A and B are shown apart, each in its own frame.
Chain A
């Protein structure tokens, strides 16, 4: 039957395409959170940062006509939220998780409030690179239309691994995350390092948000994130604080999210609620399979309040 359909081949293709399309916000938020957590703080507010980034990026792209200006402003909005989180947490006896939840609510609320006028207009979209030129199957071409932000994330993950492992800056971040006392004894400003790490994490989360509104699905509305920011924070634990594993985990979640619709489109229609829950079932399974009651999570920064 030559009718332009792919049949069952559509499923792996959709999972691959979904992995590329859907994973980028997960990737940016989880890389940002990974850096923040390496410095010994957890920022749960990244869901709010993501939504704020999506809104501000869309608004600026619409206002200026330049989507890249939107990406930049989304990053800066994220930085502001990161700085706010770090500044509040640098006070005595402040719980970073509680502050994160407060900032998550503030970020989403503020984005919904300020984003009202931008639900209807269409902002210019980020361009994509057509890497599927070698194929004459339109579905493959479409799946391989890859956004530059995804490639940036792809480069950022190994860069972050290298920076954390091999540079002085990375070492300082790790020391602060492993033992604040040791860092203080060595003369490193603990709060300033955490401020920088949280602000950078916020920047990345903001950029991730702009991908949602400026590329895929490519419009601003209030249901846009539907919890992706929170999922990405959880991904960091799932990925054992390793940026490269964050990248794979983001791909896995993107692909698993595409599985439900792809199977329905080829006619596997029973139990789609269960299929839509596939990413979460997968997480649970891997977490249970790799957990241990005897030692703390491998790779967890010792200063992190969730593992301390």
Chain B
């Protein structure tokens, strides 16, 4: 055997720094930035992108962007709402040359997106769910969100037509304004059909709690609920449990029709494909991107799932009629007199809060007809 080759600390340092220099040289070579002719778009998801839910809805949008010419799409899944998302974005920027970033989870915005955006003022950061404020947030940041409660209102109409027990169930994660708005709109939609309908809501406490979601769905069904819907990250468990117990359900985030061929009525879905391709087309054309994008059914930001086989003709006609009013912008969900479920008046008679009303984004009540409480 040859004499053992001993690596001194000095040789080691030399080798390492030489390798480092080579790396720097490599990044300066001409073939690497050749890719940068394409617009590189980065998507960051908080969970797996095929979860039948929130992240899948975004990933479907990303897939539509990928189909555009001159675009390269990067995706990273399961990035926690911590400093990790900053690292993910930094590496997309530094290693892959991303110029447009979509951090898609609510908790990414403050402080993570804001911090990275300040550092890279020539890049564009578009965040889902945040509320961009002029002067307070950097100009290269934008936020977008949809009035998905319009679709939930339609789901409520269909649910009320289908329910025999007049009891609806809602499995929710946390009592934050967006969730409350969905619960309330779903209930208002249902009670527009039949004022005797009630919605029982169960809060599981977090966005992804499969066992608790299944328990919640089972408890609701045991109480006579025969249409259930949810607002959790992945509706898969709730929809599957409903189908197994032989009741109806309406979906959320994406279409879960494949999971419940018998009981799936309709659902409130995001239409990020439209939002994302619009954004990317603007960037490709070199135009400035709007900082605040909001929209509902009319703007094409949200859509409804195709009706399932259990939906009656009366339900279809009713929901389609209201949908037509949403499409021409004449329908207002939150109009007085509106009471919360403790009997207090939250919107006085004669008043109306249209979808763009900022008051709706800080909703802190459950409407009359909802069994449940926020505290």
Contact = CB atoms under 8 A, between A and B. Distances in A.
Interface of A: 3-7, 10, 13-14, 17-18, 21-22, 112, 116, 119-120, 122, 139, 142-143, 212, 216-219, 221-224, 226, 228, 257-258, 260-262, 264-267, 269-273, 276
B371 interface: yes
Contacts, number: 141
The B interface is mostly helix, strand or loop, or mixed, namely: mixed
A222 B48 contact: yes
B215 interface: yes
The 8 lowest CB-CB distance pairs between A and B, nearest first, are: A5-B224, A223-B208, A217-B214, A4-B224, A269-B373, A265-B219, A120-B50, A261-B216
A269 B224 contact: no
A216 B78 CA distance: 24
A221 B215 contact: no
A129 to B, nearest CB: 15
A59 B167 CA distance: 37
Contacts of A13: 222
Nearest to B246: A138
Given A270-B373, A273-B205, A261 B215 contact: yes
Nearest to B213: A217
B226 A224 contact: no
A257 B165 CA distance: 27
Contacts of B372: 264, 267, 269
Given A222-B78, A261-B216, A6 B222 contact: yes
B375 interface: yes
Contact of A257 (B215, B224, B234, B237): B215
A3 B224 contact: yes
Contacts of B47: 222
B200 to A, nearest CB: 6
12 contacts: A18-B218, A21-B214, A119-B48, A142-B222, A218-B240, A257-B212, A262-B222, A265-B200, A265-B219, A265-B225, A271-B375, A272-B205
A273 to B, nearest CB: 6
B216 A217 contact: no
The residue in B201, B205, B210, B373 that gathers the most chain A C-beta atoms within 10 A of its C-beta is B210
Among A14, A112, A139, A264, residue most surrounded by chain B Cβ atoms (within 10 Å): A264
Contacts of B52: 120
Contacts of A10: 219, 222-223
Given A221-B234, A261-B216, A276 B205 contact: yes
A125 B50 CA distance: 20
Nearest to B48: A119
* Range of interface residues on B (Cβ < 8 Å): 35 or more
Interface in B211-247: 211-216, 218-226, 234, 236-237, 240-241, 244-245
Contacts of A223: 208-210
Contact of B259 (A122, A216, A276): A122
B161 interface: no
A219 B236 CA distance: 8
Contacts of A262: 215, 219, 222
B51 A119 contact: yes
Contacts of B212: 257, 260-261, 276
Given A6-B224, A217-B210, A226-B209, A119 B50 contact: yes
B53 to A, nearest CB: 9
Nearest to B258: A122
Contacts of A18: 215, 218
A270 B375 contact: yes
Contact of B220 (A3, A119, A265, A272): A265
B208 A221 contact: yes
A222 B49 CA distance: 12
Contacts of A218: 214, 237, 240-241, 244
A272 B210 contact: no
A237 to B, nearest CB: 22
Interface string B32-66: 00000000000000011011100000000000000
A5 B234 contact: no
Contact of B226 (A4, A14, A142, A261): A4
B140 interface: no
- Choose among B169, B224, B245, B371 the residue with the greatest number of A CB atoms under 10 Å from its CB: B224
Contacts of B240: 122, 217-219
Given A221-B210, A221-B236, A264-B202, 19 more contacts: A3-B166, A5-B225, A18-B218, A21-B218, A122-B259, A217-B211, A217-B240, A217-B241, A218-B244, A222-B47, A223-B209, A223-B210, A224-B210, A261-B218, A265-B225, A267-B372, A269-B372, A272-B205, A273-B205
A258 to B, nearest CB: 5
Most buried by A among B47, B218, B225, B236: B218
Contact of B210 (A116, A142, A219, A257): A219
B241 A267 contact: no
A157 B218 CA distance: 28
B204 interface: yes
Contacts of B203: 264, 272
A221 B167 contact: no
A258 B219 contact: yes
Nearest to B210: A217
Contacts of B220: 265
B219 A5 contact: no
